[in-house]
Structure 1
């Protein structure tokens, strides 16, 4: 099983000229190893691209991606890691979703397919990352 980050799915649905080929190839490779998963946070972030719920549901069905709930220990870990980030001087807004996604992958011991290795690697050192820079 592989947890998929929002940026990889956005590459696919927007046909990003720089990243779409890499993301599609990684999704195909990961799907050979087992199910592709997203959580509620990724679903919410991805839904911004769609007018109707049926449209996002069709994409998930087409790509074979399942939605799984985040375990409570992941929610707790996300809060703790976010507090650590803020204590270290992190002020950028909009980062809490990344901590939910990273904590979910870490607690569930799932590899995370993402293009954003920096924060995930720093705050979730045990996490197996599938990234363009092969930092895993």
Structure 2
């Protein structure tokens, strides 16, 4: 079965019932779950954790039976920094790689699709990555 890495923004849209993105994110995630394994990595887990006071509450919100946890391959860390170097060469001002570089690199190295509503950076730095993303800026 194929796998889809789920970006934190999609999960947070659902968890917060975001007024603009809840519908798109929940429908996209439901459709993805019908056709593939859903996966997160430690970076996505960390980004989502800001909403929860305990690890138990976070784990209850992200049941392992629905969304698998997976370590990020070392090759993905290498690719993430290479993408970050391109970002810096193009005038990016951040001093350390952004989480999106690690998330995109993980999906690219593992051969996973990525479900996200923030496709611009992924398309720029991982152009071959197969994205599930909205076609417009708002659903």
TM-score normalized by the length of structure 1? 0.93
Query: Which sections of structure 1, spanning at least 5 residues, go unmatched?
Result: none
Q: 2:58 maps to which residue? A: 56
Q: For residues 109-135 of structure 1, give each alpha carbon's deviation from its aligned partner in whole angstroms, at most 9, with x where no partner exists.
A: 10100011111001001100100118x
Question: Greater relative contact order (Cα 8 A, min sep 6): structure 1 or 2?
Answer: 2
- SS for the counterpart of 2:71 is coil
Equivalent pairs, count: 134
Alignment of 1:57-72 (within 5 A): 57-61=59-63, 64-72=66-74
Which is richer in helix? 1
- SS for the counterpart of 2:51 is coil
Separation of aligned partners in 2, 1:51 and 1:132: 31
C-alpha displacement at 1:25, in angstroms?
0.5
Runs (4+) off by over 2 Å: 92-95
Q: 1:10 maps to which residue? A: 12
Q: Could you tell me whether the CA contact under 8 Å between 2:8 and 2:47 is conserved in 1?
A: yes
TM-score normalized by the length of structure 2? 0.91
| Segment drifting more, 98-107 vs 125-134 | 125-134
CA RMSD of aligned residues (A): 1.6
Separation of aligned partners in 2, 1:17 and 1:95: 29
Q: 2:119 maps to which residue? A: 117
Separation of aligned partners in 1, 2:53 and 2:78: 32
Query: Which sections of structure 2, spanning at least 5 residues, go unmatched?
Result: none
Q: 1:84 maps to which residue? A: 86
